[in-house]
Structure 1
Amino acid sequence: MTPAPTTPAAVETRPPEADAALPAWRSGIAVVMPCYRVVRHILPLLARIGPEVDRIYCVDDACPDGSGDHIAAGATDPRVQLLCHPVNQGVGGAVMTGYARAVQDGARVIVKLDGDGQMDPGMLGVLVAPILSGEADYTKGNRFWDLRRIGDMPLLRRLGNLGLGFMAKASTGYWDVYDPTNGYTALHADVAARLPFELVAKRYFFESDLLFRLNIERAVVIDVPMDARYGDETSHLSLPRAVGEFSLGHARNLLKRIIYNYFLRDLTLASIELVLGISLLAFGAGFGGWHWWHSAQAGVATPVGTIMIATVAVVSGLQLLLAFLGHDIAAMPRRPLHKVLAHRAATRRG
């Protein structure tokens, strides 16, 4: 297995000699649980995690309510390991710390489960099944699958997901997945070990940023239907700040993904379609707009030939961009990366 990338230092409150008492790996399934102001929910949630899970990594992200102390005092499950950040890293930073520790300890599949009780531990088996069967590298919940249950989601969250959905598809390259901010996820540990944990966004954008980095690795991602569950938990997400952060993040990742996949890693017909499409569209719009403005100032009609040149350029540019989009959709990863890695490792050993 590839060594795990480095993450910000975390202090483990469990004494080192207790490692010998940890349950042995059986299923290889580990749960990573970021903990920030979840004192009311965390212990009942830990009690609901089934025996199919071998290890539970609770990451106290410098919680001001003392979530870590609460877990240390009240959790009796021997599977629980407590990791504490001395400084708040954000939910993404907490998850990356848990990922790194799970990979280091030898996990096979890592499930991210929030500590606020929104996610049902009972569907964990459904979430990891496509990974264990070799169909996917990464699975995530989709709360929009059952149209009858969408009404259970608060209106503001529905609107936010609808607005960010297309941007996430474009920036991550996973055109067949939705609900990009859903945090109920599972990841094959061999794929996790290849991720640059230190570069993944630390705050609420981290789910979308993780999808972008999985696409760069050519990992297979699929949606798993799940119901929306909302109780008395408190959201710490600021909507105005999130809109700006997510929009800039998606734009940056879209540009990176196109450069990586179509100009650095490979050069295909789609690369040419993209360059020609943007060039023709820009030329047509600029040429046509300039002549229209010039004619309007002079009070004369724009020549038909000038109109046709601009129109043909714009239409041709749009057609080429649509052709590129079709190629991008068809180029989504289809072969699970963890199988490729396993085959490569077996070949090297042989």
Structure 2
Amino acid sequence: MRNNILIIIPAYNEEESIAQTVAQLTASCGYDYIIINDGSTDRTGEILQENGFHHLSLPVNLGIGGAVQTGYKYAYRHDYDYAIQLDADGQHNPEDLKKLVAEIKHSDCDMVIGSRFVEKTGYKGSLMRRIGIYYFYHMLKWVAKIRITDPTSGYRIVNRRVIAEFAQSYPVDYPEVEVLVKLANKQYTVKEVKVEMNERQGGQSSITPFKSMYYMGKVTFFSIIRSVF
């Protein structure tokens, strides 16, 4: 019987971490996975080919939104019941995958987010990142009337209904918060469970202080538009 759970791994220039991430993933569970190589310019594509990892390679860099939506389109067309987003840089602990799966099946929620803050964890994070998380927590309370302690977490699982939504429409960049507004407006249910997150296994985050400010302004603007219209 085919697995009904797909793990989506967007990857852009993750040559230092992708092999270890997949090794940890396959050692932790037997779920299907698809790596979306988002037009990487380093050896990411070669590593995927050399190791026979399941992947799709985009001809150009679409950004995180386009890469993730490609994964959701794949999940929808191949009739998966659940899809999980997992970072290629090793920050998401694969040992928590079964916890996310169990929660969405037992609670009948539409999305379950792996949270660093719903319960106390060892996560520290930079000051700018913590400020952003705090800001979006309050913004979501105001705009979408939902309480999400870790709104920027990309470690999340969704059911078939949400897979169909995301396959049709997904924000281009910085999508994590914006999709929560979309789901809340459409009366989908979202829940959080505690997860532990690791440091990056390699490479550098693309989020700079300037990009963080742009991110906060852009997401707030589009979230307000979504809540009104």
- Structure-2-length-normalised TM-score: 0.89
Report the CA distance shift for 1:174/1:89 in structure 2 as closer, same or farther (over 3 A): farther
Partner of 2:122: 149
- 1:256-302 per-residue CA deviation (whole Å, 9 max, x = no partner) reads 31x34xxxxxxxxxxxxxxxxxxxxxxxxxxxxxxxxxxxxxxxxxx
Q: Find the partner of 1:104 among 74, 77, 80.
A: 77
Q: Find the partner of 2:213 among 226, 243, 246.
A: 243
> C-alpha distance in 1, partners of 2:226/2:129?
28
Cα shift at 1:194: 2.7
Partner of 1:223: 192
The letter for the 2-side match of 1:211 is: L
The letter for the 1-side match of 2:122 is: R
Structure showing greater relative contact order (alpha-carbon pairs closer than 8 Å, 6 or more residues apart) = 2
SS in 2 for 1:125: helix
- 1:85-136 per-residue CA deviation (whole Å, 9 max, x = no partner) reads 1111111110100011011111111000010000100100101212222421
- Is 2:164 the counterpart of 1:164? no
> C-alpha distance in 1, partners of 2:175/2:80?
21
- Is 2:89 the counterpart of 1:116? yes
> C-alpha distance in 2, partners of 1:197/1:169?
26
SS in 1 for 2:87: coil
Percent identity, aligned pairs only, is 24
The number of aligned residues is 227
Q: Which is higher, the Rg of structure 1 or of structure 2?
A: 1
The letter for the 1-side match of 2:77 is: Q
> C-alpha distance in 1, partners of 2:135/2:220?
12
Say whether the 8 Å CA contact 1:68–1:82 is kept in structure 2: no
Cα shift at 1:59: 0.3
Report the CA distance shift for 1:114/1:231 in structure 2 as closer, same or farther (over 3 A): closer
Partner of 2:179: 210
Partner of 1:185: 156
> C-alpha distance in 1, partners of 2:121/2:29?
30
Let me know the Cα RMSD of the aligned residues: 2.1
The letter for the 2-side match of 1:128 is: V
Say whether the 8 Å CA contact 1:29–1:108 is kept in structure 2: yes
> C-alpha distance in 1, partners of 2:132/2:69?
25
SS in 2 for 1:253: helix
The letter for the 2-side match of 1:187 is: V
- Structure-1-length-normalised TM-score: 0.60
Higher strand share: 2
- 1:140-199 per-residue CA deviation (whole Å, 9 max, x = no partner) reads 11112344634x32333222222332123333x25221211111010112322034644x
Which has the higher mean CA deviation after the structures are superposed, 214-223 or 231-240?
A: 231-240
Report the CA distance shift for 1:168/1:247 in structure 2 as closer, same or farther (over 3 A): farther
> C-alpha distance in 1, partners of 2:45/2:141?
36
Say whether the 8 Å CA contact 2:113–2:156 is kept in structure 1: yes
The letter for the 2-side match of 1:223 is: E
The letter for the 1-side match of 2:42 is: D
Say whether the 8 Å CA contact 1:36–1:61 is kept in structure 2: yes
- Is 2:97 the counterpart of 1:127? no
Unaligned 5+ residue runs, structure 2?
none
Which has the higher mean CA deviation after the structures are superposed, 119-128 or 235-244?
A: 235-244
Partner of 2:6: 30
Q: Find the partner of 2:67 among 94, 102, 117.
A: 94
Higher helix share: 1
- Is 2:147 the counterpart of 1:176? yes
> C-alpha distance in 1, partners of 2:214/2:12?
23
Say whether the 8 Å CA contact 1:92–1:201 is kept in structure 2: yes
Cα shift at 1:232: 4.7
Unaligned 5+ residue runs, structure 1?
1-23, 261-350
